[in-house]
Structure 1
Amino acid sequence: MAHSQTIGFIGFGAMACRMAAHLKQAGYGIIAYTPSGKGGDGSVSFLPAPADVARNADIVLVCVPDDEALAASMYGENGALSGIKKGALLLNTSSVSPEATTRLYESGQASGAVVIDCPVSGSTPEADKGALVVLAGGTDEELARAKPVFDIIGKITIHAGPAGSGARLKLVINAIMGAGLAAVAEGIAYGLAAGLDRSMLFDALDNVAVISPHHKRKILAAKNGDFSPQFPARLMQKDMRLFVDAAAREAVPVPTLAAVTQQLSLTKRASPDSDYSALIGIMEHMTANDA
């Protein structure tokens, strides 16, 4: 089915370029902005500022790494909101804080845009397949407008609630994911220190029900020493930090996840651009050094 609309990407990294490929195949026009002014495979037109993208797009899709990048690309004379069309959709797929999400929603309303927070659950393999899970916050009517896009980049859309709910749900999901990986890393470290055969241990964990499919994928990569980034450690550490801060604002005690955040800080410090599962390798290295 062909589409006459143009989607303007703000940020065009590993996830965004994969989403854009599916949308382009579906017939959408694609333009983009990145701070470097380049990206992708040469088939996408890159414009010099976020405002230029917004002026030339019917839908703006934002996919940036953190609160600071979101603020830099949305506000000011060159920010997307200064050029966005009245009534245009602004889809924020970035994993950012609830506070940054609220600010963008309110600023978008003031500019006449329809802002939906819609971070996605899944890594580059899911993005390649168009099988992300979209976590959307907004009204039924707003999500209905965005549904054609969501149906192309994702396998399911979860309506998390009113504006801001998608961002909050994403923090919950990633916090649980990070905690699970830390438990796997610690369990493997103990098993190796206790003398279990390495291949047997990794293979055993691949065959038990208590390990999620996501973490089984990480275990297989760690067995092979492959920590190429599907979800970089620097981004996972950021999400864990955002979760702990958000929980503190609600006076919710999260001691386990606070400790996991420290482990992911270690992983970020050691290898920021490796996959966050590099924590398994770090723990294994510590165990080997103790042997």
Structure 2
Amino acid sequence: MSTQQTIGFIGFGAMASRMAANLQKAGYAAIAYTPSGKGGDGSTPFFSSPAEVTQKADIVLACVPDDEALAASMYGPSGALAGMKADQLLLNTSSVSPEAADALFKAGQEKNIIVIDCPVSGSTPEAEGGNLVVLAGGEDSAMARAKPIFDAIGKTTIHAGPSGSGARLKLVINGIMGTGLAAVAETIAYGLAAGLDRSMLFDALDEVAVISPHHKRKIRAAKAGDFSPQFPTRLMQKDMRLLMDAAARLAVPAPTLAATTQQLSLTRRAAEDADYSALIGVMEKIVANDA
């Protein structure tokens, strides 16, 4: 009799498909549902509703883009919760608002389903290499059950606190990521407008300690004009919007976050499916028009 456990994926985009590949290497089976109904490559069968997936899965992993997609896939007669059994584990890796994470936790409690909010820090390269940082909110006992999954998809798991803490920490981290990129884009634009050699400028920023490894990767790609999506602008702008709303609810003044959200809204209008570092390209075009 097989003891292989099956992970049921709700959402199977760029991040989830890479997580699934690492889980399959670790000995798990994977099945999935996507809103488009498309997919399936033989190693990952697809089903027509979230409930179908969760009925057949031992553990459920949700990876959808926003609050609306989470609600559509979790609730209702064909939603993921409808197909789940008591004591089943639901890992919500989606980057959503704290309110959406809290609501899912409470809905799970009503069915005795164990919900962990566990968004991840990292883009597609980290997901492919199993080097994500898992940001988890939940009880110790739940964390112990989820540990083998987290170890397969990530290099580190941070237990951020009780339920909802993972979602809140994710907003902190992505806020730093977004504002850092905006500062890089604006200062690159200044350097170009001031007449600095483009190649020298981009190469210099790759050498200095004040730029994070993540942003150095974005600078190298921007130098080559490569904005292929590792983290699409539409998702980064969404996360900044969620953070602005969360900060406003707590009366936390956040003018830098507000300005960055506007910059990313502009970039989303110009290139929503490109990597969010396309903001560097947008700023470069603005100053190039003055040349």
TM range (shorter): over 0.9
Show the counterpart of 1:180.
180
Task: Provide TM-score, normalisation by structure 1.
Answer: 0.98
Encode CA deviations 1:45-87: one digit per residue, 9 max, x unaligned: 1011001111111100000000000000000000000111111
Show the counterpart of 2:217.
217
Encode CA deviations 1:263-291: one digit per residue, 9 max, x unaligned: 00001110000000000000000110111
Runs of 4+ aligned structure 1 residues displaced above 6 Å come to none
Show the counterpart of 2:120.
120
- Alignment partner of 2:268: what SS? helix
- Alignment partner of 1:231: what SS? coil
Which runs of 5 or more structure 1 residues have no equivalent in the other structure? none
**Offset at 1:41?**
3.4
CA contact (8 A) 2:40 2:46 kept: no
Percent identity over the alignment is 77
Say whether residues 1:275 and 2:275 are aligned partners. yes
TM-align CA RMSD: 0.9
CA contact (8 A) 1:3 1:27 kept: no
CA contact (8 A) 1:108 1:114 kept: yes
CA contact (8 A) 1:92 1:116 kept: yes
Supply the distance in 2 between the matched residues of 1:161 and 1:85 (Cα, whole angstroms).
25
Say whether residues 1:39 and 2:39 are aligned partners. yes
**Offset at 1:3?**
5.9
**Offset at 1:37?**
1.4
Supply the distance in 2 between the matched residues of 1:139 and 1:174 (Cα, whole angstroms).
24
In structure 2, give the amino acid aligned to 1:75.
Y
In structure 1, give the amino acid aligned to 2:110.
A
Supply the distance in 1 between the matched residues of 2:40 and 2:246 (Cα, whole angstroms).
34
- TM-aligned CA distance change 1:3 to 1:289, over 3 Å: farther
Supply the distance in 2 between the matched residues of 1:179 and 1:61 (Cα, whole angstroms).
29
Which runs of 5 or more structure 2 residues have no equivalent in the other structure? none
Encode CA deviations 1:99-151: one digit per residue, 9 max, x unaligned: 10010000011112100000000000000100000000001111000000000
Show the counterpart of 1:50.
50
CA contact (8 A) 1:8 1:53 kept: yes
Show the counterpart of 2:205.
205
Show the counterpart of 1:239.
239
- Alignment partner of 1:290: what SS? coil
Show the counterpart of 1:153.
153
Encode CA deviations 1:146-192: one digit per residue, 9 max, x unaligned: 00000000000000000000000000000000000000000000000
Supply the distance in 2 between the matched residues of 1:210 and 1:3 (Cα, whole angstroms).
49
- What number of residue pairs does the alignment pair up? 290
Supply the distance in 2 between the matched residues of 1:283 and 1:119 (Cα, whole angstroms).
30
Show the counterpart of 1:290.
290
Encode CA deviations 1:20-39: one digit per residue, 9 max, x unaligned: 00101111111100011122
- Alignment partner of 1:8: what SS? strand
Supply the distance in 2 between the matched residues of 1:92 and 1:104 (Cα, whole angstroms).
9
Encode CA deviations 1:197-255: one digit per residue, 9 max, x unaligned: 00000000000000000000000000000000000000000000000000000010001
Say whether residues 1:98 and 2:69 are aligned partners. no
- Alignment partner of 2:289: what SS? helix
